[in-house]
Structure 1
Amino acid sequence: MKKQYEDTDLDISLKKLNADLMWKTKQKQELKKRIISDIEKLESQERNKHPIKLSWIRKLTYSGIALVILFSLFIGAAFISPAMAEVMSKIPYLNKVLHTKDIFISIQERLENEGYKTRIGTNGDNKIEIRVDGSEEYFQDVRKDVEETALEVLRSREYDGYTIKVIKNKVMDEEKPSPETIKKYEEASKVQRALDQELKKHNYHDVTTQVGTLNNSGDLIINIGIPTTEKDAENIKELVQNVITKETDQKYTLKFNKINLKIREQENRWGRVISTIIDGLYSKKEYQVNGFSFSAHPQPMTLYIKTTISSSNPDSKQLGSKVENTIRDFLESEEVKKTIKDDEYKIIVYSKDKQQINY
């Protein structure tokens, strides 16, 4: 028969902790069994050796278990105590978004895991478009389930700013590339590889190349980015021209662009920060954001946010300030400061009628 114990102060505290944190019944019972079992084993081993130490063993065991329980509750995040909720509330909203997977990737992975044949994207606003591959019969069979699955992912993050649109993915014959178009793509890839290899061979590592095709005429479009600090710019232009002449006889348009390496490095550092801001603001209705852009040239880094609110709305300035403060809290957090360093920045929030509403 299991031994019955009187409630100690620690027992009472544990009971209070149990009530405050709303343990799930199954978890509670399993943990309780392990606790009682461990205590009885220790008492059985020590009873004959050190009768006086028995009460201390019990206290130490309870204390150790209490620490384990508290630590497990904190990292498990299955439920949140008022104290933990207070700590979590002090973390800026966008910092939480920073540590979550991109919502589009999350939805796509969930759909793939459940066996749906889909592709996910957006047309630039707050609408998530899911294209379903397969027959019309398959589309009609899974459409509602696909939509509900995507909504479940949004609800799990408390994202209410996106809408879901599920459509059939129609691949028309005229959308399939012709043999001539395929040949032009192959030609562009060949020129791209040749340029990259030749520039690398001459240690022009900061020079960028981008080879594509112009839809209307089909000519090759070749963009070469040369750093403003590069002293051999003319040699690079000559080298590029020689490679193109050697690799293709197709018509092409060649463009040389200047690159500011400091700005490029800055944009690269800000990349994850900016994608987090976009994801976070688009995801919540309360921000009423439907557009975002940024510019690092000229300095400082400037963030432009477009909202759906009218400047004549009496709450427009309040909303503008809310959006700005949400971004600023994120950018001024110690975590993000390590990324953006000491970069100066500006935040401009626009109404739908293109008036600035943050001051």
Structure 2
Amino acid sequence: MKFLDDQLHELETQLKMTDKSKEELRSRILLHTSNTKRRHVKSFIWITVACMLVLFTSPFYSTTAASIVARILPISIIPTFSDGQYNPDLTNQLYNLVEMEGYTANFVGVTPSPYTIEVSLILKDSTLKQATDDLDSKIRDYLYENGYDEFNLKISEAAEVPQDDRRNELSSLYDKVSEIVKDVFTKYGYAREADYELAGVKETWFSNIVTIDMPDHIQESNKIIVDIEKEIKSLDLNIKDIEVNLFNLEHRQQDNRWGYVASDIYDAMAGKSMYQVTGMSYKIKNGDAYVSIKTDLEKPLSEEVNQEIKTAIRVYLDLPETKKQIKDDHFTIQLLLKNKKPFIEITD
């Protein structure tokens, strides 16, 4: 995973990432999915039992049979965070599977529409063909077992990336600037704001520019910038200027919170033929949150399935972890047909 970590470290200079958000970025960069737990409702029990009897009385495990089970299992939406802990999503689960099979994973990522799972390997003692022959069926079986029945699987070998001394230098510079910014904000009594990555570094031909995201409610912004400049000069860092961008912290926090909610709902249905989801979007307008789950459906699903989706979303929204994310926000969550018309709508 070192190559992906290096990439994430490099992205810090432009994306202003915290350590915690590196794991979040793994989930958001490629729209990862998560579906490790199941909540079985009574109406599905007899079907599940029947299918399990077929599976366990058959001489060989059948991915086709697993796919049938996947189609009838009820939807379950897993919060990204539970009790402050990050819940491993599908990509992390597959990464662990690959490692347990004795291979080194460079990264595991997911892209939507068509739903594609890519596994990039760092190969030493085997060829790509050998690794693919070994891993392909195991990964597919794992996916079928967890409800995924409509996906493309791509296994590739990671390309070697030459060492970039300039990038390493820029990353080191970013680390120093970020520490200065956090310390200065904290000194002025803005420790909460300092928890958000407020600093960035832009590379220029002859020097570098520090960018500071300044919450617009801070009264001492000018003094803070002066102190940051002093600290940069005292360390003789290769910085020629500081750019300040004002933003509304409350709006950004709300936007971040609903990013998790929208992704959680999307992730629960992605890669499953019944729902045909193709993507998601969300926005915050006048303090209200709007989430849209896009599908390729020409017409609404059956009333039974629609009710199952509504129930799953309501159960998810009532979880303590989710309530912590949505707070007292007013919201509208819609599932859209291919023609953009909503066929399910949930509001607070």
Q: Same fold (TM over 0.5)?
A: yes
**Residue 92 of structure 2: aligned partner:** 105
2:238 aligned to 234, 249, 268, which one? Answer: 249
Structure 2 residue 71 is matched with structure 1 residue 85: no
Q: State the partner residue of 1:226.
A: 214
Higher helix content, 1 or 2: 1
Quote the Cα distance in structure 1 between the aligned partners of 2:42 and 2:247.
55
* Residue 94 of structure 1, aligned match among 65, 76, 95: 76
Q: Following superposition of structure 1 onto structure 2, how do residues 144-293 of structure 1 map, counting pairs within 5 Å? A: 144-171=133-160, 175-205=161-191, 206-207=193-194, 208=196, 209-214=198-203, 220=208, 222-247=210-235, 248-251=237-240, 254-261=243-250, 263-267=251-255, 269-270=257-258, 272-293=260-281
Partner of 2:295: 307
Residue type at the aligned position of 2:273: K
RMSD value over aligned CA atoms?
3.9
- The structure carrying a bigger strand percent of its residues is 2
Q: 1:92 to 1:82 in 2, by over 3 A?
A: closer
2:108 pairs with one of 90, 97, 121? 121
The answer for unaligned runs of 5 or more in structure 1 is: 1-76
Q: In structure 1, how many angstroms separate the alpha carbons of the residues matched to 2:184 and 2:155?
A: 46
Does structure 1 residue 347 correspond to structure 2 residue 333?
Answer: yes
- The yes-or-no answer on 1:134 pairing with 2:120 is no
TM-aligned CA deviation for residue 246 of structure 1: 4.0
In 1: Cα distance, 2:239 partner to 2:301 partner = 55
User: Which structure has the larger Rg over C-alpha atoms?
Assistant: 1
Contact kept, 8 Å, 1:211 with 1:220, in 2: the verdict is: no
For residues 307 and 218 of structure 1, what CA distance do their matches in structure 2 show?
Answer: 48
Say which structure, 1 or 2, has more relative contact order (CA 8 Å, 6+ apart). Answer: 2
**Equivalent position amino acid for 1:108 in 2:** Y
- Tell me which moved more, 264-273 or 103-112: 264-273
Give the superposition deviation at 1:356.
3.4
Distance in 2, Cα, partners of 1:324 & 1:83: 14
Q: Please list, as runs of the form range in 1=range in 2, the aligned pairs for 1:2-151 lying within 5 A after superposition.
A: 85=45, 93-95=75-77, 101-122=88-109, 124-125=111-112, 126-135=115-124, 137-151=126-140
**Secondary structure class of the residue paired with 1:249:** coil
Contact 2:105–2:121 (Cα < 8 Å) also in 1? yes
Q: Any gaps of 5 or more consecutive residues in structure 2?
A: 1-36, 49-72
Percent identity between the aligned chains?
Answer: 19
SS at match of 1:148: helix
8 Å CA contact retained: 2:117, 2:152: yes
SS state of the match for residue 290, structure 1? Answer: strand
Compared CA separation, residues 197 and 356, structure 1 to 2 (3 A):
same
Shift in Å, 1:128: 1.0
Cα distance in 1 for residues equivalent to 2:213 and 2:265: 28
The 1:288–1:249 alpha-carbon spacing in structure 2 relative to 1, beyond 3 Å, is same
Q: Distance in 2 between matches of 1:270 and 1:185?
A: 30
Question: Are 2:79 and 2:321, in contact at CA under 8 Å, matched by a contact in 1?
Answer: no
Shift in CA distance, 212/146, structure 1 to aligned 2, threshold 3 Å: farther
Number of residue-to-residue matches in the alignment: 268
Alignment match, 1:8: none
- For 2:89 and 2:206, how far apart are their aligned partners in 1? 35
Q: Partners in 2 of 1:220 and 1:202 — Cα distance? A: 26
Matched letter for residue 179 of structure 2? R
Secondary structure at the aligned position of 1:186 is classed as: helix
Task: Indicate the residue corresponding to 1:338 in structure 2.
Answer: 323
CA contact (8 A) 1:223 1:257 kept: no
1:213 positional shift: 3.9
Q: Is the 8 A contact 2:276 2:296 kept in 1?
A: yes
Q: 1:197 to 1:150 in 2, by over 3 A?
A: same
**What is the TM-score normalised by the length of structure 2?**
0.63
**Does the Cα contact within 8 Å between 1:306 and 1:349 map onto a contact in 2?**
yes
Asked if structure 2 preserves the Cα contact closer than 8 Å seen for 1:188 and 1:213, the reply is: no
Question: Residue 67 of structure 1 aligns with which residue?
Answer: none
